[in-house]
A and B are shown apart, each in its own frame.
Chain A
Amino acid sequence: MAEVLVRVRNLVKYFKTSRGVVHAVDDISFDIEEGKTIGIVGESGCGKSTTGRCLICLIEPTSGEIIYRGQDICRLKRSEMKKLRKEMQIIFQDPYASLNPRKTLLQIIAEPLLYNKIIRTKDKFAIEKRVLELMDKVGLAERLINTYPHELDGGRRQRIGIARALAMEPKFIVCDEPVSALDVSIQAQILNLLKELQRDLGLTYVFITHDLSVVNHFSDDIVVMYLGQIVEKAPADELFENPLHPYTQALLSAILIPAVGANRERIKLRGELASPIDPPPVCRFDKRCNYYCQDCDNGVPPLLEITPGHFVACHLVKPRGNATVKAS
């Protein structure tokens, strides 16, 4: 068992709006082991990106703890946090908007190096050497060093984002939907690149996505989120072979099979995503669930370990009694 790098305990993030309190992330806990990849999946608005931003302290959680190597990063001073920033980085979803259009590739990749005084501003030669090294690592041609982001395609832009995240030699990277804005063929390239980098540099990833087929090949553990809460958490293989939560089952049935004539039976969900504003204290999936019964309104279901390593939050799934929700 690898060492736990990040320990998330009872993480809560509420946003106050004029219409009420949005429960973006509501009491979630999980561990991230060093050198592993943990996938967070869920539909739009389920709080997965908010979780990712809390993990590297881009937004401050309402309550809860995020313990990185034994330190609670939410309670660190500014100067201490600045040191930790070098170890934790984020790769954003939109490679078009997340690069400053007025800076060249050299300036973009060099910025973290200069800002954190890893290389002195005057040392132009060292800066260029390091930037070219990083570009080489992520597969960007040297001749692109003076180009602007808008001259490049999506895949190359995402490579810039990765190079920039790698510039400070981080240990822990939050990948916030890094491939959802890209074409399928380029998705594969970027995923392979991330995989290679993980192997070479011993990185730990949190991989946020709504695309289960991506996360399947990429993650060691998968966390499924629904409306700010974790509904199921299991090793990737286990989750795909034996999904226990009705929501996970529905999600998995929606994956397209790349074969002619393949026709998997899809589990269709009723209704729409409930509002995350002041949700009632019941199972948040209740009204959409195909197995809905009176038990479901008996409070929020706790996340229980059903089989070793496999956690589910459902009133109908009890340890060693999961026959009730097996997909028909």
Chain B
Amino acid sequence: MLQIVNRKDRFILLKKNLASFWGIYRRNTMGIAGLVILVCFALMALIGPYFVTYTSAAEGIEKVLQPPSAEHWLGTDDLGRDVFAGVVIGSRISLVVGLAATVISMVIGAVIGIVSGYYGKTLDALLMRLTDIFLVIPWLPLMLVMAALLGPSLGNIILVIGITGWAGTARIIRSQTLSIKERPYVERARAIGSGDLHIMLHHILPNVFPLIFANTILVAAVAILSETTLSFLGMGDPTSISWGMMLHFAFEMGAVAFGAWWWLIPPGICVVLVVLGFTFIGYALDEVLNPKLRRR
């Protein structure tokens, strides 16, 4: 009598897998710390902007450059805007730009890495030289030049960060692909008649995926930092407020000279915390997702 595994059983199986993943993950203190940080910032970016107002003070000079108080938790800037509100609103742009750029660079990195490792020979040599070029060119000047050429808009910033950040990923994915394509199950797949695309999608991709995933988290940290840098240097979109943009304005308007520390430090700390959160999760996932390190 055939017993068919139905959809419900599959769902239970999925739930079981997730539960066991969580069981391992939550024992990792670093990972939990990172997760807590990121969840806080994600909530802030999602719902925070609906609770704060970030507008210039209309009623005069006494509202400008105020130190932290009960009314303005983090003081006000040169236009009398609430710095706390700026930090909350800025989190949305910072995170969106960082994550979108990460997706772009991971897709480019994974495709180039897998194709290069799988096909080898001339194609591999060509793609890897291209990767080397992107690795050795100092990324900051490259980003600045590209951003300057493309013009300051949110989409361009995402694109610029995305296409400068994939090289390291491509290298890592390629080396893993080189190892996987020699495994007997790939030969076995060829024996059933599988083509290259099928093997890359169904055998190589699932096996490099943990690496892509762990790498994504680390690249995200760099992408957010890059966004801050570009905005700070004035290459960002001045109409969308991000942490980097706040730092840019604070620096331009002479926050240091005024001694307005409350204007400079909060966005800076936010950037550091988010980067730290991503890095923590990255290290934790590396340990959890690697089946060899996984305890059963």
Contact residues of A with B, CB < 8 Å?
Answer: 56, 58, 81-82, 85-86, 89-90, 92, 94, 97-103, 106, 111-112, 115-116, 125, 128-129, 132-133, 142, 145-146, 150, 161, 164, 167-168
Is the Cβ of B188 less than 8 Å from the Cβ of A92? yes
Chain A interface: which of B25-33, B51-59, B202-210, B246-254? B202-210
Separation of A321 and B185 alpha carbons in the complex (Å)? 49
Count A-B pairs with CB separation below 8 Å: 74
Least CB distance from B181 to A in Å reads 12
Least CB distance from A58 to B in Å reads 6
Is the Cβ of B190 less than 8 Å from the Cβ of A100? no
Least CB distance from A11 to B in Å reads 18
Separation of A250 and B183 alpha carbons in the complex (Å)? 34
Is the Cβ of B4 less than 8 Å from the Cβ of A94? no
On chain A, the residues within 8 Å of B10 by CB distance are 146
Within 8 A of A (CB), among B1-53: 2-5, 9-10, 13
On chain B, the residues within 8 Å of A167 by CB distance are 192
Given contacts A111-B202, A128-B4, A142-B3, contact A58 B187 (CB under 8 A): yes
Given contacts A97-B185, A111-B202, A128-B2, 16 further A-B contacts (CB under 8 A): A58-B190, A58-B191, A82-B193, A89-B192, A90-B188, A92-B187, A98-B184, A99-B185, A100-B189, A100-B203, A102-B207, A115-B192, A115-B193, A133-B2, A146-B10, A146-B13
On chain A, the residues within 8 Å of B240 by CB distance are none
Within 8 A of A (CB), among B168-199: 183-185, 187-194, 198
Is the Cβ of A100 less than 8 Å from the Cβ of B185? yes
Is the Cβ of B5 less than 8 Å from the Cβ of A56? no
Least CB distance from A173 to B in Å reads 10
On chain A, the residues within 8 Å of B193 by CB distance are 81-82, 85-86, 112, 115-116
Separation of A26 and B194 alpha carbons in the complex (Å)? 29
Q: A94, A101, A106, A116: which contacts B192 (Cβ < 8 A)?
A: A116
Separation of A90 and B194 alpha carbons in the complex (Å)? 14
29 pairs from A and B in contact (CB 8 Å cutoff): A56-B191, A58-B190, A82-B193, A85-B191, A85-B192, A86-B193, A89-B192, A92-B184, A92-B187, A94-B184, A98-B185, A98-B187, A98-B188, A99-B188, A101-B207, A101-B291, A111-B189, A111-B194, A112-B193, A115-B192, A115-B193, A115-B198, A116-B193, A125-B4, A128-B2, A142-B3, A145-B5, A146-B10, A146-B13
Is the Cβ of A90 less than 8 Å from the Cβ of B191? yes
On chain A, the residues within 8 Å of B2 by CB distance are 128-129, 132-133, 142
Is the Cβ of A168 less than 8 Å from the Cβ of B187? no
On chain B, the residues within 8 Å of A82 by CB distance are 193
Separation of A150 and B191 alpha carbons in the complex (Å)? 22
Is the Cβ of A111 less than 8 Å from the Cβ of B291? no
On chain B, the residues within 8 Å of A103 by CB distance are 206
Is the Cβ of A164 less than 8 Å from the Cβ of B5? no
Separation of A218 and B267 alpha carbons in the complex (Å)? 75
On chain A, the residues within 8 Å of B202 by CB distance are 111
Which residue from chain B places its CB closest to the CB of A86 in the assembled complex?
B193
Is the Cβ of B206 less than 8 Å from the Cβ of A100? yes
Count chain A CB atoms within 10 A of each CB in B9, B13, B198, B202 and give the residue with the most: B202
Least CB distance from B122 to A in Å reads 17
Is the Cβ of B192 less than 8 Å from the Cβ of A168? yes
On chain A, the residues within 8 Å of B203 by CB distance are 100
Least CB distance from A123 to B in Å reads 12
Given contacts A99-B185, A100-B203, A125-B4, contact A115 B13 (CB under 8 A): no
